[in-house]
Amino acid sequence: MSDVSVKKEYSLPNLSCANCAAKMEDEIRKLDGVIDISVVFISKTLTMELAADKADAIVEQARIIINEIEPGVVAIDVLENPEGIFDKKGNPDINNNFIRNKVSRLGLSGVFFGAAIILGHFNISPYITIHLYIISYLLSGGGILLSASRNILKGRLFDENFLMSIATLGAFAIGYFDEGVAVMLFFQVGMLLQNLAAGRSRRSIAALMDIRPDTANLVINDGIKVVSPTSIKIGESILIRPGEKVPLDGIVVEGTSMVDTSALTGESVPREVLPGNDVLAGFINRNGALTVLVSKEFGQSTVAKILNMMQNASTKKAPTENFITSFARYYTPVVTIIALLIALIPPLLFNQLFANWIYRALVFLVVSCPCALVLSIPLGFFGGIGAASRVGVLVKGSNYLEALGNINTMVFDKTGTLTQGVFEVTKIQPHGDYNNTELLHIAAHAEAHSNHPIAVSIRKAYGNNLNTSKISDFEEIAGYGTKAVVDGRTILIGNSKLMHMANVVYKTSDDLGTTAYIAVDGQFAGSITISDMLKPNALSTISRLKAFGVKKLVMLTGDNKTIAEATALELGFDATHYELLPDQKVSIVEGLLREKPPKTKLAFVGDGINDAPVLARADVGIAMGGPGSDAAIEAADIVLMADDLKSLLGAISVSRRTKRIVWQNIVITLGVKVIVLSLGAFGVASMWAAVFADVGVALLAVLNSLRVIHISKSEKAH
């Protein structure tokens, strides 16, 4: 196989059978040159990774397989349909003509079916009645009979087309014309309703992710030109009027306004932007006109990456989905074989009537269709991913969403995750004749030419303009601090080693944080303590995680022992590891992975910039994204777009809610099927009950899955 691979993505607009999607995936996977493949019914997408030298041939073979398994389904390259599953008009759901044609056929079938029942009730010409049943049957089930015939010729048995064909034709053969037609008619109606419900789910997700702007106002020499965002280049300027979406990432060069960031971050409070501030595609401009200098082309913008990630999320299937898909492969053939035995053994061995036992076997066949499971389970996870996006959490696959609800151990990076990653002056301790204002004035001027984070925090605390004409002979002493002459006085500012080197007698500080000691003309003048402040929701989030059932909380940091232990104690961590290099963090996480209980997961929460190795090693890598953080979006499995720990709680709530609904669907679907199968075997259940056990339960499961999308008030509060 070639070492070079290519990725191909297609939409499957008229795909209407969840079980068929699984079969397409199985058949295409067998082709030589297919490295990876995923056919997702919920998003109606086909994604393939192929050997580059065989890609064109594989694509043609895949198109043939798709059309053979479900005639009328075509694969459309996403380059030809760039709107993908998030088209605001609902495409590529079943197109309107397809729906109208199917509704017309089923409506006409229903008319003939009703006429046959009425004539039969009044005993008017059985010959006419039978022909009306046949016409009704062909109108509703002709396509299924045709598909079943094609599949039989290709050796593909045990699909829903085969099962429905055998069950309904068998009913005709033993004289149950009304039930044979009813099964086919209501099966088709149920499938249509299922697809409409699934389409509603897709449109709900599309509404949640309706963040892609349609146009942009390009600033040109003689005014404004409305263009597509994809045509604008880096360095060009765009105008964003009040009420418009920001079409591209950029920097505000003119104007001030409040922007709504909720579509990307889940934050409900608008944010003020000023000249020099960054804005991202997908923000909504609320009140003032903004002129923005474009910093990224549309394909590299935050909104484009988010949409691409969401569209591909369904390809990473949860273990529950994979189990159900595997289960369906064996379940249908097994039930079909049991149905055959029910039809033959009692009449042959016990001299029973063939008609009675064939009828019971037909009930078995109707019930055995696995569509309810194959459709509703992925739909539940798909809705969960959309629901998570409403609380500002982007999940890259249903496997990660499911894992999030099984977290036993959660490991946190400190700087930039639990803390703000911004150093601030927390204490000023003057000595001798100096006061706070004088000491800060001296320190800020001595640090005027330094870019060290401590120097920046001191200048920020000072807040006033610096008179650099007073400063001379500036010198930065690596590993110690700085030396400068300010107003003719020699100023030293740095750590304790600098004081020792200059033979300055000083008073040590025990305050938590980094202490900068200051000497003026060789005499100790005081100290300034700089600390990295905790994020506002860090304490409440950590305490809530324990209430959520996370058993072990661990903090990793490169900071010294004193700061690490104090932070861990304040937040309530079970363990902390300090003075770590990135590779040491990986080693510790690997040790924790070995220690955690079976079937539980370990999550690592980091800032997504320098924690990529640990994010990749954990079962679930969670990045504090922050709007526009490309590193976070690329490195992590889950991204907290608001850069706020509290959204982690909302994500866990969504995960558990999704898992609960998915298992409700499994229990309800299998439970009802087992009950009706048992009743059918004993001759108690009729085909009407079998139709409910198949189509009715499938519809109930789909509607139950839609509940995932609607976030509860408690999840929004997180």
609 Cβ contact partners less than 8 Å away, ≥ 6 residues apart: 416, 629, 631, 632
| pLDDT (0 to 100) of residue 609 | 61
Segment of 17-21, 564-568, 607-611 carrying the highest mean pLDDT: 564-568
- Note the pLDDT tens digit of each residue in 106-116: 999 999 999 99
The residue behind tokens 């994979």 is 322
- For the chain, domain boundaries: 5-82, 96-206+314-381+658-713, 216-304, 394-418+535-641, 420-534
Q: What does the alpha-carbon distance between residue 547 and residue 21 come to, in Å, rounded to a whole number?
A: 40
Q: In the predicted model, is pLDDT for residue 266 greater than 80?
A: no
- Note the pLDDT tens digit of each residue in 144-203: 898 888 888 877 777 778 888 888 999 999 998 998 898 899 888 877 876 776 666 666
420-534 has which CATH code? 3.40.1110.10
Which H helix or E strand runs over 620?
Answer: strand 620-624
Residue closest to 695 by CA, chosen among 669, 665, 666: 669
Its pTM surpasses 0.85: no
Q: What does the alpha-carbon distance between residue 591 and residue 423 come to, in Å, rounded to a whole number?
A: 32
Tell me if 45 sits within 8 A of 311, measured CB to CB.
Answer: yes
- Note the pLDDT tens digit of each residue in 352-373: 889 899 999 988 888 877 777 7
Structure tokens at 513: 């944080």
User: Which CATH class for the 216-304 domain?
Assistant: mainly beta
Residue 666 burial (CB count, 10 A):
20
Active site residues: 413
Residue closest to 201 by CA, chosen among 394, 42, 20, 399: 42
CATH topology for the 394-418+535-641 domain? Rossmann fold (3.40.50)
Q: At residue 219, what are phi and psi to the nearest 5 degrees? A: -80, 120
Q: What does the alpha-carbon distance between residue 646 and residue 306 come to, in Å, rounded to a whole number?
A: 21
Q: What does the alpha-carbon distance between residue 393 and residue 641 come to, in Å, rounded to a whole number?
A: 6
- Note the pLDDT tens digit of each residue in 418-462: 988 778 898 999 998 999 999 999 999 999 988 887 898 999 999
- 17 band by pLDDT with thresholds 50, 70 and 90: confident
Q: At residue 507, what are phi and psi to the nearest 5 degrees? A: -105, 120
| pLDDT (0 to 100) of residue 310 | 66
Q: 718 versus 134: which is more confidently predicted?
A: 134
Q: In the predicted model, is pLDDT for residue 94 greater than 50?
A: no
Q: What does the alpha-carbon distance between residue 209 and residue 552 come to, in Å, rounded to a whole number?
A: 34
Secondary structure class of 70 (helix, strand, coil): coil
Print the SS3 string covering 108-176. Answer: HHHHHHHHHHHHHHCCCCHHHHHHHHHHHHHHHHHHHHHHHHHHHHCCCCCCHHHHHHHHHHHHHHCCC
User: Which CATH class for the 5-82 domain?
Assistant: alpha beta
